Structure 1
Amino acid sequence: MIEKIQHFDANLFLKINRGMANPFFDWLLPLMRNPYFWAPLYIFIIAFCIIQYKKTGCYLIAVLLLTVGLSDLTASRIIKPLVSRPRPCNEITLVNDIMPRVRCGTGLSFPSAHATNHFAIAVFLIFVFYSRWKAILPIGLAWAAIISFSQIYVGVHYPIDVVAGSLLGICIGLICGKIFKTLQPEF
């Protein structure tokens, strides 16, 4: 059963990594997974929350940082070492088939920490701001999804890594959103 799932996952990975190859994605998707590309957005979120909501905004940023810390710790330090799945770009059986678009790295694959972290951020912000700004739902989910999908396209994660990371991030984002709403019920 596990072998069938891994075979399916590798085939789907190759359909995305090779089958969807095009110059536009080759340019765009490596950018989407680069944290420096998103630095202005992160700075905006921090500044907006502090300027707009003052002390409550500081609490919001503190819980958002807790969200990122928990998601990264859970994915990278707890689950990845337990599962020990190599990245597809480090998988001997795929070395001749893969189209690497970024440096592979030596890290492990399951779950995708990018997917975990960005879905945790998106869901936390959706949970906190949805009553004030409904558009955050599709924007936040699309943002996290494109970052997560790019992990497959560039060759560093299998689809199941991304799905698992996304689900983990959603759970962490919801939990941390509830923590924030409990601490700041008037928000």
Structure 2
Amino acid sequence: MIQNADLSILHAIQGTASPALDTFMVGFTALGEFGALWALLAVSMIASGKHRSYGFAILAAIALVVVFGEIGLKHLIARPRPFLLDPSLATTLIDLPSSYSCPSGHTASSFAAATVLCLAPLARRWLKPVAVGTACIIAFSRLYLAVHNPTDVVLGALLGIACGCIAVCIVNTIESRRKGRQA
């Protein structure tokens, strides 16, 4: 029943396809590959020294996503990709992934990083909605390209938010202990 609803939503999204959207969605899905965009942002935060601990939190959050999502849940749930269930959804715009579908790793890493940024005391607060918006577009790109089901993306977002919160807690605890030792 859920699978039928997921496939119906994917077919509805496919009905909106256009060459301009194809290019846009392929670009955003590439940004989310292996959490690359977010890892680069984290490294730049660490290198700049400003909000260094939140840069480490982004990397920790992505690592948690890999452990819990890619290594754990994907193999536990073992859900096939939607284009395997309905070949009419297969795209030629990107290389089709061979791993299991649920949860969406692109979505999880994007929401993990966006969560960390939302919890960071950034002077440029406008970066927070930009991070969330970027995570949402990356997540939607996975649906547009029909490499994930909507429920895979929802679970990926929830996993990412949880991993982001856990990573911030871990980094804040380490920072507090470090400052306590210096006092």
Same fold by TM-score greater than 0.5:
yes
- The correspondence of residues 52-91 of structure 1 with structure 2, limited to 5 A, is 52-53=49-50, 57=52, 59-91=53-85
Q: Which runs of 5+ in 2 are unaligned?
A: none
Runs of 4+ in 1 over 6 A off after TM superposition: none
Amino acid across the alignment from 2:29: R
- Please state how far the C-alpha of 1:142 moved relative to its aligned partner: 0.3
Aligned-residue Cα RMSD (Å) equals 2.3
Would the aligned equivalents of 1:128 and 1:181 in 2 still touch at CA under 8 Å? no
User: Structure 2 length as normaliser, TM-score?
Assistant: 0.85
Counterpart-to-counterpart distance in 2, 1:173 and 1:113: 14
Amino acid across the alignment from 1:27: T
The match for 1:181 among 145, 168, 172 is 172
Counterpart-to-counterpart distance in 2, 1:30 and 1:48: 26
- Please state how far the C-alpha of 1:140 moved relative to its aligned partner: 1.1
- The correspondence of residues 21-170 of structure 1 with structure 2, limited to 5 A, is 21-35=17-31, 42-53=39-50, 57=52, 59-91=53-85, 94-95=86-87, 97-100=88-91, 101-130=93-122, 132-170=123-161
Helix, strand or coil for the counterpart of 1:129? Answer: coil
Helix, strand or coil for the counterpart of 1:62? Answer: helix
**Quick one: percent identity of the two aligned structures?**
27
- Please state how far the C-alpha of 1:102 moved relative to its aligned partner: 1.4
| Partner residue, 1:6 | 3
Q: Which runs of 5+ in 1 are unaligned?
A: none
- Please state how far the C-alpha of 1:76 moved relative to its aligned partner: 0.9
Counterpart-to-counterpart distance in 1, 2:32 and 2:160: 20
- Please state how far the C-alpha of 1:46 moved relative to its aligned partner: 1.9
